[in-house]
Structure formats: C-alpha cells, structure tokens
Structure 1
Amino acid sequence: MDYTKTLKRGENVTHYRNTYACIRLDYLQDNVETLYQKVRKPFMAIIKANAYGHGYQQVANVLKDNPHISMFGVATLKEAIDLRNIGIQQDILVLGAIPIEDLDLVIHYDITLSLFSKDYMNEIKKLYHHQKTVKVHIKIDTGMNRIGIKSQEEFEDILTHCQNSIFQVDGVFTHFATADDPLQKEAYQSQIDMFYDIIGQHSFKYIHCQNSAAMMYHHDERSNLGRIGIAMYGIDPAGEECKELKQVMSLYTRVAMIKKVKKVNV
C-alpha cells in the first residue's frame, strides 16, 4: 500500500506489481472533520480489522493527535494491545468479549472492557488479583442480538454490584441494527428508546450509541461520544454514493490488454 498524499500519474509504487492500493490519510482527517461538523461531539475511532483494511498503524498514528478523537475502539484484545505497542495513549475499548484468562493483559495494557452480563462480571471477579480497577463500558443489547444485557433490571443489578468494587464504569453503549436503512426508521427509534429507558437518568463519562449511520442519518442529543467506523474511511454506511465523504482507499492498476469480442447470441 502507498500511504503518500500525492501520486504521480502512471507511477508504480509497489515492486513488480501493476496493481496497488493508495491510502489517502489526509482524506481520513477530512472525513473526521466532516462528521464532527455534523454532530459536534468527540469520537471513538474504530480501528478493528486492520482499520478496515487500511493499515491500523498508519491510521492510528495519524488520528492519535486529532483533537476530535477521544478514544479508540477495536474488536479483539490483540488489536488493543497492538495499538498500545505503537504508542497509543488514549483509552481503548474492546467492543467484543475477551477470554477471561487474559485479564492480566487487560490490566497491564490499561484496556477498557465491554461488560455485557452478570455472569461475565462474576467471572472477572473470580480471577481478579490486582490493585488497579477494571475499566468497563456496559453493553446493552437493544435488538442487534449480539452480546449485551436486555432489561433495566439487569442494568440496575450490574450497576449495583459495580459500586465500590473492582470495576470502574466509564460508559454505557449499544449498537443499532438498522440505522443505515431508511425503511427501518421505526426499528431504529425503538432501539434508541429502549436504550435510554434502560439507562434511565444515570450519567456516565461516555454514553455512546451513534455509529456512522446514526450520525449521518439520525439525531441524538443525549449521547456524548460518536463511534466513527466505515464513514471515517469514506464509505456511506448504506452503500450509496456520498459526496460528503472522501474515499480513503483507491485501487489502481495498469491495463495489460484490450480485446474486441464478437457478440454471441444465446
């Protein structure tokens, strides 16, 4: 991949290949600014899956000094540790579940976990033997049907057990299943209503439910952190052409041969 900001016409930036990907990190910064102007709140930059194939080291390094990026989000503990190893100092949230036996690594690298059930919470307590608290964001399942609690009773129970314990509850969040579908506005509204009904009047350092689609197509005043993933890389969440965003990755190749082929009637 070429991470330079300019590309000369016809220049082959890889060795012995005529096909290559060009990553425009300046476009990445432009997309962050565009999204910020929409919602006017800090962001969690999603760097999972090698930054959606754009190169996590280069993407994280260019975003770590961006004033709109408050923290990073990843899918696995390995991704979180990789970010720490390249010098990322901001909070890093693992959006998925981690193996309980890796709790020591979580503490050592100062990683924030998703707390998604009372059973998971109790398993962490059993293995905990550190002085530092375990930073967590409580995950609420409002219809995506991945990990997460599904009722206010569960939420209040977990909050109660987290008080004066090993846990430091920094945030609460959910993920929308249909925010990118204009025909599913009722389903989106049902999910966001459920989210706020469950957390009630509790306040947290971070309340986040706005993914890229929710930021682009919907409005939410109460959440105080946006999660920018696919839109940050210049792709419209609904798969439509989007003039607001700049596509960060482009593929280039050289044509090897052009042929004229007779039409065949079948």
Structure 2
Amino acid sequence: MVINSIRMFLDQKNLLHNIEYLKKVKNKDILPVVKANAYGHGVNVIVPALYSAGQREFAVARYVEAENILKLNLGNDIRILVFESIGDMELIKNTPNIDIAINSMTELKEAIEAGIDSKRMQIKIDFGFGRNGVFHYEVSELKDYIIKNNLYLGGIFTHLFAVNYRDGLKIIEDFTEIVNSIGRERFEKIHLQNSAAVMNYNCEIATHLRVGMLIYGLQEVGYYDPNLKQVFSLEGQIAGVREVENSKYVAYELKSDLDIPDCKYIAKVKIGYGDGFLKKNEKSKCIINNKEFKIAEVTMDNTFIEVDESVKEGDKIYLYRDITKEVNFIGMNIYELLTILSPRIPRVLK
C-alpha cells in the first residue's frame, strides 16, 4: 500500500455471501446490476470477483459500461444486459456477449430485421415509469408479433418502481398476466424486482432477482435484513498531524470559521472532493483508533480532522464506517454517496 493513502477495501467473502443468501431466501437466480462502476465499488474488481465464483450474467445501464467489462477479458461465456437502447444494430451484431433491452416495438422490429438473435433480446414493459420500454397498452401488438415470428427471447422484464405497496402488487399482477398471455416458455429470464422490491414483494413469475444495492450489503431506507453484509470499507492512514493551537488558518479557511476554536491538533488524510468525498462531509465523524473525531475541512485533495494528542501519523482511519448515519447527516442517499467516489480511490479486493 502507498503510505498514508485512502482505499476502498472490498470484502469478497461478504459479496459472495450476499449473492448466495439472496438466492437461498428467495429461491431465484441473481442478475447482478453493476452499473455506475458497480455502485461505486469498482466494476473492475466486483465483476472479476463474481465471475471467478461462477457468475456469468450481469446488467448495466449503458453500452460503454458493457464495453469496459468486456475489456477485462474474463471469458467468452460472459453475458451483459444493457438497459438503455444502443441503436447501432451493426455494433450489436458484432458484440455477441451483449444482450439488449428492447424498449419499443420499433426497436424489436429493427433488431429482428437486422438478423440479431432474439435470444439476445430482453423485452422491457413500461407501466408508466416514464423511462423506457414497450408501453403496456402495446402488449397486444407485441404478442401478435412474437407469435407470428415464432420468437423465443432472452427475457422479459419491467421495473417495479411503485412506492405504494398496493400499486406494486398491481404491477406484479399485470406483468404476470402479460407474460402468461404471450407464453412464459418464450422467455429465458423473467425479472422485475430491484433491491427495494426484493425486500417488499415475492414475485412467483420471476426467474431472477435483478439487484444492485443488496449484493453490496447496502439497504434502502425503511428496509433492513441483518443477514446482508456490507462489502465496502473506506479506510487508510493518517498522512500527518500538526499542532494548530496558535495557527490562524487551517488549509484555506480561517480556523475561527471552522467551529474548532479550542482545537490543538489537526490530522490530514489524502482524500477530498476531487475524490468525490464532498465538502458536505464537514462536521461529520470518522473513526481513528476506535474513537470518533470530527471532520473540520474538506479540500480538493485532503481532508482535515480535529484530533487530540493520541492520534499519530500512520494511524488507521475509517470513513463512512456507519453508512446509514452518514447518509442521514449529509442528506444524500447511498446511491449518490458511493457512486460519486472517484476511481482515483483504489479499490482493493480482500
């Protein structure tokens, strides 16, 4: 390790535990969502770790994310579902490890006419989320087209976006009816549960759980399963400690402006808003030597912490130790907090 650095350590045992736990408790296969740099955890670490454990199917939002995974050269048997429309049919044809979401009837017809194997296509049904997908009122046309062309597809899915429990049940009911009317035997994979919906609903029709947050052991506000284990740990070493009792400034700020008038020592760590560790973290807490200390200032490359004489250069520091507490303090959700962490912070599998 580079001395005094901050790194994100990723616990492979916890990652694989979460996958196996979800499989067992829900009796479904897992389609891991690794978009947005694996929710900030580092796709170049998470995907190889899952692949080495036997996972072969993944989901991302954009083509460029799938392209970056393929550059890892893990194996020809990897499959990556891209949620957003790619558009370039020749590019799709020439990238056989990528499966595409079909987000409109026009897209389905273009893909079939371009000669793309229907088993590489997964139909998305839109129940009013307003993002993408074949509209639910187009299902009759969709059914006729699939049957007329005798298509067998890679999958069918929707997004269970409803925050109202009964609305969610209605979406499950309507989606199940659509799948059965077309013929569930025509779809290799059927999925509609994101992480929150996995906690909230049982979906008999589904073959897979399409989960991101839960495989990383992160949980939505209002839901909690103690069997899931957090995968990431943001930790490192104190890069230096200085006496500031008689100083007027700490970094770029007047000491008097930082609400630390009686502070005698300031510790520095090598992380800042240039790493996605925002100034919103000021006045939040970190852990050094099993004790909480307050963050005084965040600059682009460094963070300064109000400490006492017990803290020395090289001591271990933990940031975001209690992610729920940090989310509440900063006023950002977990998605935002982790996905903005820069690749400048090394991700290390342990």
Q: TM-score, normalized by length of structure 2?
A: 0.61
Q: Tell me which residue corresponds to 2:156.
A: 172
Say whether residues 1:90 and 2:78 are aligned partners: yes
In structure 2, distance between residues paired with 1:221 and 1:166: 25
Instruction: Specify the alignment match of 2:5 in structure 1.
Output: 18
Inter-partner Cα distance in structure 1 for 2:23 and 2:206:
14
Aligned to 1:58: 45
Q: Is contact 2:62–2:84 with CA below 8 Å preserved after alignment? A: yes
**Against the structure 1 CA distance between its residues 196 and 64, is the aligned structure 2 distance closer, same or farther, given a 3 Å change threshold?**
same
Q: 1:170 to 1:241 in 2, by over 3 A?
A: closer
CA distance in 1, matches of 2:36, 2:91: 20
Corresponding position: 1:76 with 2:86? no
Distance 1:64 1:164, change over 3 A: farther
How far apart are the structure 2 equivalents of 1:136 and 1:105? 14
Q: Which residue of structure 1 aligns with residue 100 of structure 2?
A: 113
Please tell me the residue identity of whatever aligns with 2:161.
A
Structure 1 match to 2:211 = 228
Aligned to 2:49, the other structure's residue is in SS state helix
* Unmatched 5+ stretches in structure 1: 1-12
Aligned to 1:150: 135
Q: 1:133 Cα deviation (Å)?
A: 5.2
| Greater Rg by CA | 2
Give 3-state SS (helix, strand or coil) of 1:210's partner: coil
Contact 1:43 1:227 in 2 (8 A): yes
* Deviation, structure 1 residue 63: 1.2
**Distance in 2 separating the partners of 1:114 and 1:131:** 13
Q: Percent of aligned positions with the same letter in both sequences?
A: 26
- The alignment partner of 1:200 has SS state of helix
CA RMSD, 1 decimal: 2.8
* Structure 2: gaps of 5 or more residues: 246-259, 263-350
2:175 pairs, out of 179, 195, 200, with: 195
The match for 1:9 is: none
SS in 2 for 1:64: helix
- The answer on whether the counterparts of 1:70 and 1:90 sit within 8 Å (CA) in structure 2 is yes
Between Structure 1 and Structure 2, the one with more strand by share is 2
Paired residue type of 2:169? Q
Cα distance, 1:199 vs. partner?
Answer: 2.6
Matched length:
240
Q: Is the 8 A contact 1:213 1:238 kept in 2?
A: no
- Structure 1: how far apart are the matches of 2:146 and 2:74? 30
Q: 2 CA distance for matches of 1:189 and 1:162?
A: 26
Per-residue Cα deviation, 1:121-165 (whole angstroms, up to 9, x for no partner)? 344456x2x5755721110112322101232x5123224324575
User: CA–CA distance in 2 between the matches of 1:105 and 1:87?
Assistant: 20
* TM-score after normalising by structure 1: 0.78
Equivalent pair of 2:199/2:223 in contact (CA under 8 Å): no
